[in-house]
Copies of this chain bind each other. A is one copy, B any other.
Amino acid sequence: MKIGFIGLGAMGKAMAARLVAAGHEVTVWNRTRSAVDELVARGAHAAASPLEAAQNEVVHSMLVDDAAVRSVVIAGGVIDGMPHGSIHVNHATISVALAKELAPLHRVRSTEYVAAPVFGRPDAAAAGNLYIAVAGDPAAVDHVRPLLHVLGQRVWSLGDAPERANIVKIAGNFMLASAIESMAEACALTRAYGVDPHEFLDLMTNTTFAAPAFKTYAPLIADRRYSPPGYTLRLGRKDAGLTIEAAVSERVPLPFASVLDENFLDAAAHGDDKLDASALSEVTVRRANLDSR
């Protein structure tokens, strides 16, 4: 298939590479050039602009946040450049509000908008092991489904309304941040009683909490090894904001989400935005003053 791919961050690069490797003709665009070159070396074409990358049967985008999507997809010409009948597959974790705005912007141009946010870190993207939540027009979803199976090990269909895939992704990231915070608090408590975090997390993540969310972040928390980041604290903070925004909009009180929001602010105020999101754990360590005991 002829595919455009817009946004080659750590995730987008790995995803685009899989599409190239699967034999598709992929034209890529990125804000900075070096990532484009890497993909070209693997067999992709370089587009000079988002608009050029948009001139394909299917256009994937994997941009960092609402602002980037507004700037590249809306203002930057993607929606205007897409041919009639083409399909935009948006993998980004964006707000529900923007998701609701994007669907009609495509419809009036006779293109299709499919939301397909992904779960997984860059290594899972490279291995095609992502989990993908997808929502949008059923025919469009069916059309791009083979591509989604190149990217992910499993695909969940969530119906016609694209924002349903986005809220699922937002809620999933909320659960991830909650997992980090619950490990952080449990470790701080047990550490205050002399138990080594490695010991505690080894027990938990090999028993009742033997799931990727916990197994991925537990060693980072126990080792206090937050760099290089897989999922930055800045991104985690943005996602916590999306949770609150979605909750406020539909009037759903979520106290865990509030705690996460506060602790992400605390972490950011201490300069940890570029670390891995698991550095959230340091907030609890600092508040309990554990390092000075």
Which A residues lie at the B interface, using CB under 8 A? 96, 119-120, 131, 133, 154, 156, 158-159, 161, 163-164, 167-168, 170-172, 174-176, 178-179, 181-183, 185-190, 192-195, 199-200, 202-204, 206-214, 241, 243-244, 246-248, 250-259, 261-263, 265-266, 268-271, 284, 287-290
Contact = CB atoms under 8 A, between A and B. Distances in A.
A244 B154 CA distance: 37
Contacts of A288: 250-253, 265-266, 269
A186 B270 CA distance: 20
A179 B182 contact: yes
Nearest to A96: B193
A163 B266 CA distance: 23
A258 B182 CA distance: 12
Contacts of A246: 189, 193
Contacts of A247: 189, 265
Each complex incorporates copies of this chain amounting to 4
Given A208-B211, A287-B266, A182 B193 contact: no
B172 A182 contact: no
A208 B212 contact: yes
A141 B3 CA distance: 59
A268 B253 CA distance: 10
Given A178-B182, A207-B154, A269 B248 contact: no
Contacts of A259: 255-256, 258-259
A181 B257 CA distance: 11
Contacts of A254: 185, 188-189, 262, 284
B265 A195 contact: no
11 contacts: A156-B203, A158-B195, A178-B181, A208-B211, A252-B269, A252-B290, A253-B265, A253-B287, A254-B284, A258-B258, A259-B259
